[in-house]
A and B are shown apart, each in its own frame.
Chain A
């Protein structure tokens, strides 16, 4: 086990933690989005999807525990890296320009990450830790999005998520060593498309729901 601790404690090991957990979240986003799309099938389709998901029982709990563990790793390692990088240059430059490598996503990674954490807590309180015995999930969701503030908050959060994954996606490949001059442009493009899918896919849902009833 010593070897594993050594790897994880190294700089590249920490990057690896970020990359692997981040990739899992990308997978989760796809599954989550696919499920949410049943909203477009109407109230019953959405409720049926939720019911089928919850009928997975122990499997679902396992997935939730997995996601929670990954989230804890992603957040804590991210925080360690953020702090380490802050202290790596004690004396700032009088004048510093970006030379073209940096993107909106890469420059804001820790901040968008922090905002997403706040959002996820908020989101879980809205739709996960609520009493679902007396009303269906569809009723809870559509009631929430009757409030314009919720719609604005959710759409904004999805834009933040899109910015976060626009850097995170290709970055994970680079960290895992999967960089090949021939394929990297494709991976970067896939990352961009993925971030658009996340931003638009999730972002339109609250707007659609708010106009449903």
Chain B
């Protein structure tokens, strides 16, 4: 393991005081950043300085800081969640930056995600897509006996891959069309692949796609930028499955 170094960065952060305000790019110096810090810890340090100087700290979303909750995220140097593949912003470490780097930090940009403040955006649109049908509406009762409902291993694996989605919104942020199809595809797939989800598969696909369309997301043109930035490496195979499920619901 290499030992920690200390680096100095220039941050260019998009600041916005509130919803419907104009945003502008502000420059900050991030001095004495340990390369062992995470990106969010680096922002914490900058915010401490800002607070001590009597300025408004940079608002950003975070919760678990373990890469599992999906709260964090910003576009760093033109890439959602920063330069490292398959990694959330909270799990991105400063050792991936060089001394003297200029780092541009922006919020997710999409008509469907309103900026609340600085880097914090309202991803309630995702919740509305889930509310439209991203669940199973049966009373499950007690836990069933183990292995009473056989699921082929491959199916279980694929469902698990889809279920890895933490709903961070990076797919929308990366999509040239600000489309939410990777998110919606993953949420439809995780249930469509399992026997418990099959009975409502059609209704679910139709309802969730309709909700997605209404919320102002763009339309997928198969650019594949979403799967490239997804911190959970979710594949567009799930978008194809959503298309199948939706067409089945529409035509049969």
Residues of A within 8 A of B (CB): 3-4, 6-7, 10-16, 81, 84-85, 87-102, 106-107, 109, 167, 170-171, 174-181, 184
Contact among B106, B178, B216 with A95 in the assembled complex (CB-CB below 8 Å): B106
Which of B50-58, B142-150, B217-225 is near enough to bind chain A? B217-225
The complex places the Cα of A64 from the Cα of B136 at a distance, in Å, of 48
User: Are A89 and B106 in contact (CB-based, < 8 A)?
Assistant: no
- Kindly provide the distance from the CB of B57 to the nearest chain A CB, expressed in whole angstroms: 20
A7-B250, A88-B111 are contacts. A95–B77 as well, Cβ < 8 Å? yes
Instruction: Write out the residue numbers on chain A whose beta carbons fall within 8 Å of the beta carbon of B235.
Output: 181
User: Are A174 and B222 in contact (CB-based, < 8 A)?
Assistant: yes
User: Are A106 and B250 in contact (CB-based, < 8 A)?
Assistant: no
Interface flags, B211-231, vs A, CB<8A=1, else 0: 011001111111111111100
Residue of A nearest to B25 (CB): A94
The complex places the Cα of A99 from the Cα of B79 at a distance, in Å, of 7
Which residues in window 169-223 of B have CB below 8 A to A? 174, 176-179, 181, 209-210, 212-213, 216-223
- Kindly provide the distance from the CB of B99 to the nearest chain A CB, expressed in whole angstroms: 20
Whether a CB of chain A sits under 8 angstroms from the CB of B242 is yes
User: Are B25 and A106 in contact (CB-based, < 8 A)?
Assistant: no
A97-B79, A107-B176 are contacts. A11–B221 as well, Cβ < 8 Å? no
User: Are B110 and A89 in contact (CB-based, < 8 A)?
Assistant: yes
Instruction: Write out the residue numbers on chain B whose beta carbons fall within 8 Å of the beta carbon of A109.
Output: 221
- Kindly provide the distance from the CB of A154 to the nearest chain B CB, expressed in whole angstroms: 27
User: Are A11 and B219 in contact (CB-based, < 8 A)?
Assistant: yes
A15-B220, A179-B240 are contacts. A101–B178 as well, Cβ < 8 Å? no
Instruction: Write out the residue numbers on chain A whose beta carbons fall within 8 Å of the beta carbon of B225.
Output: 98-99, 101-102
User: Are B111 and A90 in contact (CB-based, < 8 A)?
Assistant: yes
Instruction: Write out the residue numbers on chain A whose beta carbons fall within 8 Å of the beta carbon of B241.
Output: 177, 179
A6-B250, A7-B247, A99-B225 are contacts. A174–B239 as well, Cβ < 8 Å? yes
Residues of B within 8 A of A (CB): 12, 14, 23, 25, 75, 77-79, 104, 106, 109-112, 174, 176-179, 181, 209-210, 212-213, 216-229, 235-237, 239-244, 246-247, 250-251
User: Are A99 and B237 in contact (CB-based, < 8 A)?
Assistant: no
The complex places the Cα of A100 from the Cα of B79 at a distance, in Å, of 11
Contact among B106, B179, B243 with A88 in the assembled complex (CB-CB below 8 Å): B179
Give the interface centre of A89, A180, A181 by most chain B CB atoms within 10 Å.
A89
- Kindly provide the distance from the CB of A109 to the nearest chain B CB, expressed in whole angstroms: 6
Q: A85-B177, A85-B218, A101-B228 are in contact. List 14 more A-B contacts (CB 8 A).
A: A3-B251, A11-B212, A12-B209, A12-B246, A85-B221, A88-B111, A88-B178, A88-B179, A91-B109, A93-B106, A95-B75, A99-B225, A100-B228, A174-B243
Residue of A nearest to B76 (CB): A95
User: Are A102 and B224 in contact (CB-based, < 8 A)?
Assistant: yes
A3-B250, A177-B247 are contacts. A94–B14 as well, Cβ < 8 Å? yes
Instruction: Write out the residue numbers on chain B whose beta carbons fall within 8 Å of the beta carbon of A96.
Output: 75, 78
Contact among B181, B244, B250 with A13 in the assembled complex (CB-CB below 8 Å): B250
Instruction: Write out the residue numbers on chain A whose beta carbons fall within 8 Å of the beta carbon of B78.
Output: 93, 95-97
Instruction: Write out the residue numbers on chain B whose beta carbons fall within 8 Å of the beta carbon of A100.
Output: 224, 228
User: Are A101 and B213 in contact (CB-based, < 8 A)?
Assistant: no
The complex places the Cα of A91 from the Cα of B111 at a distance, in Å, of 8
Instruction: Write out the residue numbers on chain B whose beta carbons fall within 8 Å of the beta carbon of A14.
Output: 219
User: Are B222 and A175 in contact (CB-based, < 8 A)?
Assistant: yes
User: Are B247 and A171 in contact (CB-based, < 8 A)?
Assistant: no
Selected A-B contacts with CB under 8 Å, 25 pairs:
A11-B209, A11-B219, A12-B243, A12-B246, A15-B243, A88-B112, A88-B178, A88-B216, A92-B109, A93-B78, A94-B104, A94-B106, A95-B75, A95-B78, A96-B75, A97-B79, A101-B225, A106-B224, A109-B221, A171-B221, A174-B236, A177-B240, A179-B237, A179-B241, A181-B237
